[in-house]
Each structure stands twice: as C-alpha cells, then as structure tokens.
Chain A
Amino acid sequence: MTIAGGTAVGLWHAEANLQDVDAVIIPGGFSYGDYLRAGAIARFAPLMDKVVDASKAGMPVLGICNGFQILTEAHLLPGSMIKNNHLKFSCADQLLRVENNTTAWTSAYAKDSGMVIPLKNQDGQYVADEKTLDELEGEGRVVFRYDGVNPNGSRRNIAGISNAAGNVVGLMPHPEHAVEAGFGPDASAYGEVGLGYGTDGLGIFTSVLTSLVAGGKSRPFPQIPPPARRSSASTRSSTPPPHRTPTFPGLNWA
C-alpha cells in the first residue's frame, strides 16, 4: 500500500475499530493456525463485524489468501477453499487473467490482461456449487482466473472473485509480493524476465486509491506512480530484453 502511494494503518483483530480507514485489506497468513477450516475462527474477530458493516456501506475490502478464506467464512463472498488437489503446500509464480477490471481493486488493469504473482498456500482449491459458479460467471464476478495451469484444482480455474457491488474482492495469489522490483517474481506478464522483476501486483493497490479518489474521498493522495517495470537491472543496457516465454523452473505457466 505504501509503495502504491497510500498510508497503511494496522488494525487489531480484538478491537472493533476501523480507525477511520478508507479501505481494508485482510492479508494472508495462518489465522489460528488454520487448525479448523482456514479463516473459520478469524471471521468471529470483533474487527470483522465492523468490516462486514463497512463493506455493506461500500467500503473497498480486499482479502488475500487467508484473507479471502476469512471473507468467504464471513459470507461476504460465496464459495470456499479446500485443500489443494495435489495435497501439498505450493509456492510458485502464477499467471492470472484479470477478467473484470471494473471492481474497486482492478481498475488499473486492461480487461483480460495478464498478471504474474506468487501463489502460495495449502488450502487454495476454490469450490462452490454449480449454481453459484454460474451466477459468478453470469454476473462477471470472476475477477481473476488462473491461466494455463490450474495449480490446485480450483473450479473453473477461479483465482479470485468479487461481491455483486464489486467493492469486496478476494483472491488466493499474493499481489503484495509483486509490487517492488527486485523482490517479486522473476517474470511479469509483459514478457520481461529477470531477478525479481515482476511488479504486476501493484495495480491492485493503485486501483483502490484511484477509486477512492474518484469516489470523492477528501483525503489527498500523492501522485500514483506508474507501475515500475524494472529498476534492479543494470543501467548499462538500454534495450529492453526480448519478449520470450519464461521457461525457468517454478513458474506455473502455460
């Protein structure tokens, strides 16, 4: 959030207090160890009552990984996540498609644009009944879809979805690990390959700032920087690397 130009405020689970923030991101992790169903206990946190209320009033809410699982447990989003079909924890760079760019969290992307961000979880297989899946498809609420490889058996390759209003979005992969050049995946969907180059996830965070500004929120935001393409590269080479399909190990690619 800070890199995107916003101000991050830590919220404490046990306090029913949103501290006047403009949007909420529920990050990944292993709330209560995921010993029960992932997210099943965290959704009872006093803070979550406030998040549910605020989301119904239109506040942008994003759930990443365990955060997505918490949003489904809180019934802000339909369906749920079960254990990966290969039964293992898996950490790999994953290609997605942004299928809906009208949500509060995806406006910075062109429709159907690609995105390479890390996917890392044990319980990432998205499931829902056929009727729900049809509804999500029909209403354009499948926001992110796995491209090429389905990494975990998710129904209809679904990686992330939104509520009907588009202010609440959840996804299993981690856009926050592809926001700073040098510390992201070794590839981006724009064909660049290099050590930690990938910053495809940054648009998620710039999107919400844009939508808040456009929505008339009075807080001033600093200029949103364009997505950094590469900064860790040597300054010697001025020609961009050739477009090529990344083939190195670890990337879930077509």
Chain B
Amino acid sequence: MEILGRRPTAAELAMYSVMWSEHCSYKSSKVHLSQFGEKVTDKMKEHLLVGIGENAGVVDIGEGWAVTFKVESHNHPSFVEPYQGAATGVGGIVRDIISMGARPVAVMDPLRFGAIDHPDTARLVHGIVSGIGGYGNSLGLPNIGGELVFDSVYQGNPLVNALAVGVMRHEDIRLANASGTGNKVVLFGARTGGDGIGGASVLASESFDADKPSKRPAVQVGDPFAEKVLIECCLELFKASVVEGIQDLGAAGISCATSELASNGDGGMHVELTNVLLRDPTLTPGEILMSESQERMMAVVTPENVEAFEAIMAKWNVEYSWLGEVTGTGRLVIDWAGETIVDVDPKTVAHEGPVYHRPFHRPEWQDQLQADSFAETRPFGSDAVKKAMLELMASPNMCDKSWVTNQFDRYVQGNTALAMPDDAGVIRVDETTGLGVAISTDANGRYAYLDPYEGARLALAESYRNVATSGATPLAVSDCLNFGSPEDPEVMWQFAEAVRGLADGCRELGIPVTGGNVSLYNQTGGVAIHPTPVVGVLGVFDDVARRTPSGWREDGQAIYLMGVTRDELDGSEFANLHGHLGGRPPAVDLKTEKLLGELLVNASRDGMIDAAHDLSEGGLAAALSEMALRFGVGARIGLDEACERDGVDLFTMLFSESQSRAVVAVARSEEVRFKDMCGARGYAHMRIGVVDTEIEALDFQGHFSLPLSELKEAYEGTLPKHFG
C-alpha cells in the first residue's frame, strides 16, 4: 500500500506475492550474494561479457565466440513430481540460455538423493533420471556429466540441479529489456495453462511439512518437443534480428517476464491480458499472471519487424499473441476486459523487493562437531586395505554411475569430446579450429557441514581441479546454493559462511561468479539438508583434441602422483562408510590449487601426459581404481616411497582426501620434461607406478594385487542392484 498509495488489486497482490517470494527476489540471500560483485577485480572481469543479473552470465572464449552457462535448482518440484519436476528443470535452464541469444549445446545434472536403500529413493531416482533424460534427450542436448550422491540428509529434500551451456558469436548476445516506445510485446510458444501456479512461492520458498496439502498442482508439466521448436524458432529470430529484447517465462511466469522486461528497459509497458492464449479458459487474471506453464517466451518487436516475426512463427508452427506495447509512462499497466487490474512501477515488482537481514549465528554444536575427529580403527595390513578398497568402490557414492548416465544421450550434436566418467565434460564449439569448453560441477555437503566456509572453497577447488585435469584453463564460475530454511539462524549462518568462502575463493583463483541460483527451504520439519553449495567451473580449450582422459591405456607409461598426502580422513568417503561425520574437512590452499591447475594444463598443451585424474572423494584409492577401469588397463603401483615422504601409512595414503593432488600417466619420452616442469615450479611429484597392459590388475607391490575383474564387479554392481 505504501508503494502504490492505495489498496492493491487482487492481480497486483498475486504479482507481488510471487515476485517477492524467496525464489524470485533472493530477499534473504541478497545481502550476502553482493560479495560476488564486491570481491571481483578488474582482472577477473577481463573475459566477462555479461555478469550477474541477466538470465545467465556470458564469457568470452576467444575467436569471436562467447559462452553462457548457468546452474539452477529444481529441488522441490522434483520431490513432489519427480519426472515432470526434473524434466522442467532442464527446460527452464535451457530457456535461460536461449534468452541470452545462445544455442544450447550441453546439459549437466548434479543430483543428490537420500539413502540408497530407503524405500522412497527408488521412486525419486527412477522418476528424476528418466525426467532429465526424457526432456534433455528429446531436445537433442548431450548430457556431459554431473554428480550423483546418496546421503540420508537428502531423504525428504533431494537436490536436482541442472546446468546448461550455450554458445554464440559475440554480436549475437541478447538481453532482457523492453525499450523503444511503441514497440510491440509478444508472448509465444506454448499456451498458458493452470500448471505451476505459485510454483516459485508455494513450492520453492517453503519447507515441506507432513500436515500441509500435497503440492502437486504447483509443479509444471513439460513438453520437450515444444521446447525444441522454440529453440530453433528463437535462434532464427535472433539471426534475422527481429527481436529487440527477449525473456523466457520461468518462475512467476508473465508477472516476472513483464516486470523484468519493463524495468530493465527505459519505459513502461501496457499489456492486454485477455490476449493471452489459454489452455484453460477458466483461469482468472491472477492465475494467468502467476502460471508457470513451460515452453513460453516473451519478446519485444519493432512495428516494422512484426511481419517478419509472424513469418518465422508460421514457419515453425509456433503460436503467438500480441499482448501490448512498450510505453513511455514508466508504469507497467495490465488490463483485463477493459478494466485496469495492474498499474505499478515495474521496478518495485522486479528489483525493489524486500531485503531481509536475517539473523544468523554459528551453531553451538559446531565446535563439538569439529572436535569429533575420525578415530575408528583403521584397516591395517594388506588384506584389510584391499577389502576396504573394494568396499569403497562399491559404495553408493563411489560406484559406477553408468546406470544413470546411460539413460542420457552424450553423443548428440557430434561435438562431445569428454563426458562421464571423465573429470569434466568437454564440448567442441568451433568445428574448424577445435576451440571448446570444459565444465565440471562439484560439491561436498559433508565438508560444508563441518565447515561451510571451507566447504564452499573445497567445492570450488574440486571443480577447478577437474576442469584443469581435463586440460582446460578455468575461466568462470556458476553456482547453485542449496540450503535449509533461512528462517533458522544456524542455516543462515551456514549460508553466509559458504557465500563468503566462495567469494573469497573465486578471488584467490581469479575467476568470477557469472550467475547462478539460490535454493533455500530444503528442509522437512526441523531437519535441514547439509549445506550444499554446488559450484560449476567453465574452462576453455584452444583445441579439444588435446583433452586428457581420466584413464591410462599405453603400456609402460609412468604413473605420477602430484601433491602431498596428509592424514585427512575427517568428512571422507571412508569415514562416511563407517557412519562418521565430524572433525574438520581437508585443508585447501587455493594458491597451490592454482599452481597444480597450471601444471596440468601445460602438461596437456605440451603433450606430456596421456591420462590425468584428480584426487577428491575416495582419495588415491578411488582415483587409481577409476583410471584402471576407464579403459580396462592395469598397473603396477609402489607407494612405499610416497608413504615415507609424507609420513603416512598405506591406508592413509590411499583413503585420505588431501587436496591439490592428481595422478597422471606420462609417456616414457616425456618423463624428463614433466619432472623438470614440476621441479621448476616446486610442485611435489613422485613416480608411483607404471601402466601394464598384461597383468589386468592393480598390483600394489609388496602389499596386494587387486584383479580388475574383481574391482569391476564391485564397482558396477551397486546401482543395478538397487534400481534394476
């Protein structure tokens, strides 16, 4: 009432309620997120063409090409209706990419579920995996990676994050604004229906509760064919230069699109809501404004281009309706059957929502948690370590993910240079030069629970390391911050710490956050998920032909371990397997991480290494297993010297999760050069073995031999056993 100077209409109330929801307005997170802007230096912005605030950030990758990428959450809808929730999560992020003017070229999905053997987990896994595949495969977008984590903290709040990446020429970048009085506003794509009403406010901005009604009607329903046609149709609109501004319709539907377009432009907008094409004629104006029906876009077109616009719509058989025009009044006016139902300053809806300074404080239990270091009996002796290694590789979080990834198309478009199970997904952008990008997403909720500040930096470090391991130079960051309820001061503290950690980490590594998403209220009753800051890092390749796979293949190549191993088992997968979560996460020094990245990229560029794998969850045991299983080639490994140098025993060497480490396979002829390079930069490196194509085992010399057949059986059996 203060803003309008009168009582708001029902339609205005609807509009403000969705746009000022947590999901759309970032009202609880805004005061913290500003650090991503404040902690950016000019040097970091060097490659940034479009920063935070637009539909997605845009990065210059050279040769006139630009890349846009973003990761978003669709957690709540996917719990209520797994298939459609996950499917429309892909659809939504892809439309963000299109509205920047880019052609989407790949997607990735970081997924987190409850305990693997909980009866509800199979429902969610089947629904969510087939929903992502059903939508992404139909769109013809390769799915090049992601994450799969099982942990009982996600039982009632699975995390379904979706990342999309798109490419464009610099001159094709489009922004969401409505300028030029007299220009026409058009809504095109699917018709507006009653699905997803209040999705952003009801679902994404509240916790689940046992006694509240089912929220199924608030989940949107996806139509991937309509989206595919919309993609091609939009790209043709861009090519023909017939749209001035464009905005996708996602959360908060027409409310969001009209208010954001108008407030980013220079004037106002006048819209006749009765012109909206409906699937359901009984919808009220308020419902039409809030509907989150999928596969819709809104654009601003000059009167001269109206005919050309309509011709493109006709070619692609896409429905459209002219809703109104851009005005010079500075007001967003929406009429319904001759009556004005909305008359507001669009900025008050889109940008000037409430800003909360939510109280936050460090939980009292945090000290006790951090003091509870892993003190279980450690496996000792060859047989016990071998058994532990097989158990680790069969565990839900370390096992083979192909049951999931084989349900996604990784080949389509013919430009996929790396996909699961390699460290990063790699896509060729330019077919003539081989210019391309690598992307990885990572997070470790257990690390972040032990220390949210360090947890965010660790997620960033791992993602950065993965991209560098594939051979690409890291350039930019997108994040999806999944947390519990901001109304809980302890959760808010976790959030504040994680944002501070991520912003500091980005500054240390010199790569900016270009955009992302915050998902709060991931909690059921009083139980929140672990703080889970998912960090996506994008890197660039001059030529993807030189990307490094995560497995060795050539007989006789030397295997080197880069970095040093400390006794860091707190928060590790091994501790997790033994039901322990306490202590402090591994220490990470981002300067060391950056140096390791430079060495890995140089080694790739100069052709020194034929395989590389980063060490993260599961430590050296997991890395060596995955490298051997990648192409089914064994190796002889000697770790005694490394154990002696680092002052740890065999078990710790294999299972500790110390950071800034990688394993590489180096051709004999390149060994001297490789050693010189590491030595000159003062980076710890040690030869720990040799690739052996004959033995079909990982032979830990002097300790035990692990036949690849046995390892493979353990590794591949887990997901099929639980999910069929």
Chain A residues with CB under 8 Å of chain B are: 14, 29-30, 32-35, 88-92, 118, 120, 122, 174, 176-177, 180, 182-183, 186, 193-196, 232, 234, 236-237, 241-242, 244, 246-250
Contact = CB atoms under 8 A, between A and B. Distances in A.
Interface of B: 130, 133-134, 137-138, 140, 223-226, 228, 315, 400, 402, 405-412, 414-418, 421, 428, 544-545, 547, 549, 551, 553-555, 607, 610, 629-632, 667, 669-670, 693, 708, 712, 715-716
Contact of A33 (B138, B140, B411, B555): B138
Contact of B411 (A35, A91, A242, A247): A91
A91 B716 contact: no
Nearest to B724: A86
A183 B410 CA distance: 10
A242 B634 CA distance: 14
Central interface residue in A89, A186, A242, A249, by most chain B CB within 10 Å = A249
B415 A249 contact: no
Contacts of B670: 236
Given A89-B137, A176-B414, A248 B406 contact: no
Contacts of B140: 29-30
A236 B137 CA distance: 38
B431 to A, nearest CB: 9
Nearest to A93: B411
Contacts of B406: 90-92, 250
Contacts of B418: 195
Contacts of B409: 89, 91, 120
Contacts of B545: 182, 232
A88 B400 CA distance: 18
A236 B400 CA distance: 32
A30 B670 CA distance: 47
A241 B411 contact: no
Contacts of A182: 417, 544-545
B411 A118 contact: yes
Nearest to A249: B402
A72 B140 CA distance: 22
A89 B410 CA distance: 12
Central interface residue in B400, B610, B667, B670, by most chain A CB within 10 Å = B610
Nearest to A180: B414
Nearest to A247: B632
Given A88-B407, A236-B607, A249-B716, 8 more contacts: A120-B137, A122-B134, A174-B411, A182-B544, A194-B631, A195-B549, A247-B712, A248-B630
Nearest to A29: B140
A185 to B, nearest CB: 9
A250 B216 CA distance: 36
Central interface residue in A29, A196, A247, A248, by most chain B CB within 10 Å = A248
Central interface residue in B224, B411, B693, B708, by most chain A CB within 10 Å = B411
A35 B221 CA distance: 14
Given A30-B138, A194-B553, A248 B415 contact: no
A194 B631 CA distance: 7
Contacts of B716: 249
Nearest to B227: A33
Contacts of A30: 137-138, 140, 224-225, 228
Contacts of A247: 632, 708, 712
29 contacts: A29-B140, A32-B225, A33-B138, A33-B225, A35-B225, A89-B133, A91-B405, A91-B406, A91-B407, A91-B408, A91-B409, A91-B410, A120-B412, A122-B134, A180-B414, A183-B414, A183-B416, A183-B428, A186-B631, A193-B553, A195-B418, A195-B549, A236-B607, A236-B667, A236-B670, A244-B632, A248-B631, A249-B712, A250-B406
